Amino acid sequence: MNRGIHPSGIRRIFDRARELERGGRRIVHLELGRPHRGSPEAATRAAVAALRAGMVHYTPNRGLPELCERIAARCGRGVEDVVVTSGGSEAVAAAVLAILEPGEEAIVLDPAWPHYRGHIRLASGIPVHVPCACDDGFQPDPERVAAAITRRTRMLIVSSPSNPSGAVIEPARVSALAELCVEHDLIALSDEIYAGFLYDAARHHSIAAEPHMAERTVVVDSCSKTWSMTGWRVGWALAAKPLAEALNVVHQHLGVCAPAFAQAGAIAVLEDGADHARTMRAEYDERRRTLIAELAGADAVCLHPPAGAFYAFPRVDAPSGLAGEQVAMRLLENAGVATVPGSVFGRQFAAHIRLSYAVSSAELAEGLDRLRAFLG
């Protein structure tokens, strides 16, 4: 009945953490990819004004024209390439459902956000997992990707910066992946919702910018992470006209349109949200540096420094023979720190945990102290 789709492992940890909190425990939350800051005041003012003006009805399926125009201008695309969705997650789902036929395969570069696998299963497709080695900085190996392509392969899903590893795919590897897409007539789904969080010398290079890829790539982005608007549920997909039209048909059946007043808030941040985004990025870079320095001194932890997003994905040598999900659950139950088991993002990564540093400095410091004490 469920096509191999399982409840979110991230939410399982979160729900258990909430149970412990209701029982009086103090839990440090390092599990959710949710910026700790509030949303920009410009967005709030615009949404309130929209509500008071009666903007409570359906919008065009593709989104408010003013919002589509601003997204198109920001990304250097045509308005006809834009489909506004209820968050980036719906954009991914609509793209997968629009493109995959039952039995077709989609390549996922692990470690990866587990919803990719779920969306592929919803489309009656087959997820094909290609691991990216920690020792190689979680960079995709084009040769391994090529070896995974069959006559049934239809899609390649790329996420850079990555959730959970924070890896930013190197330009040469992006080019190699693009060449495979062109050679094998694949559609690329490029999840770029963390492209606003890049550190040190890291640069985002979209696969859509590669030769012959604009017409065969769906780019997904949203307001959720860049502007701390996770609950507003405004995202978008960018694709050439035939792909955008197919995606919009699925979007009509999935969610009709994103909330009208939330779209008004999105217009505001696209006009006046740059300072908020820069401030948040600078804060998280500081937290990232703290996390890297703190974990570098822990003998039981091996961390490849993240170059983007706001996650770290260390390998943990757990005490007492613990393995896999047991590490995260014991860390939660005994040390009061909520993290995500690495196995959620790929079976090969059971020895890892995901830490989100999109939290206050005080909460991060407390969480790292508890983690080190747990590991002894």
Question: In this structure, are residues 309 and 161 in contact, taking their beta carbons and an 8 Å threshold?
Answer: yes
Residue 245 confidence (pLDDT): 97
Quick: pLDDT tens for 83-121: 999 999 999 999 999 999 999 999 999 999 999 999 999
Report the alpha-carbon distance of residue 371 to residue 276 in Å, rounded.
31
Q: Residue 207 carries which DSSP code?
A: G
Report the alpha-carbon distance of residue 195 to residue 177 in Å, rounded.
18
User: Would you say residue 322 has pLDDT above 80?
Assistant: no
Report the alpha-carbon distance of residue 357 to residue 35 in Å, rounded.
9
pLDDT classification of 28: cutoffs 50, 70, 90: very high
Quick: pLDDT tens for 325-344: 788 889 999 999 999 999 99
**Pairing between β-strand 217-222 and β-strand 235-238 as defined by DSSP bridges:** antiparallel
User: Would you say residue 1 has pLDDT above 60?
Assistant: no
Cβ neighbors of 77 (< 8 A, separation 6 or more) are 71, 238
* Range 9-38+275-375: architecture per CATH: Alpha-Beta Complex (3.90)
User: Would you say residue 301 has pLDDT above 90?
Assistant: no
Question: In this structure, are residues 338 and 14 in contact, taking their beta carbons and an 8 Å threshold?
Answer: yes
- Give residue limits of the domains in the chain: 9-38+275-375, 41-272
**Cα→Cα distances 67→83, 120, 239, 269, Å:** 10, 29, 16, 10
Quick: pLDDT tens for 134-170: 999 999 999 999 999 999 999 999 999 999 999 999 9
CATH number of 41-272: 3.40.640.10
Report the alpha-carbon distance of residue 103 to residue 291 in Å, rounded.
42
pLDDT classification of 50: cutoffs 50, 70, 90: very high
3 state DSSP class of 57? coil
Other C-beta atoms closer than 10 Å to the C-beta of 260 total 18
Residue 161 confidence (pLDDT): 98
Query: What predicted TM-score, i.e. pTM, was given to this entire model?
Result: 0.94
Cβ neighbors of 9 (< 8 A, separation 6 or more) are 114, 325, 340, 341, 343, 344
**Cα→Cα distances 136→145, 169, 172, 203, Å:** 15, 11, 14, 18
Quickly tell me which residue has 């920009």 as its tokens.
40
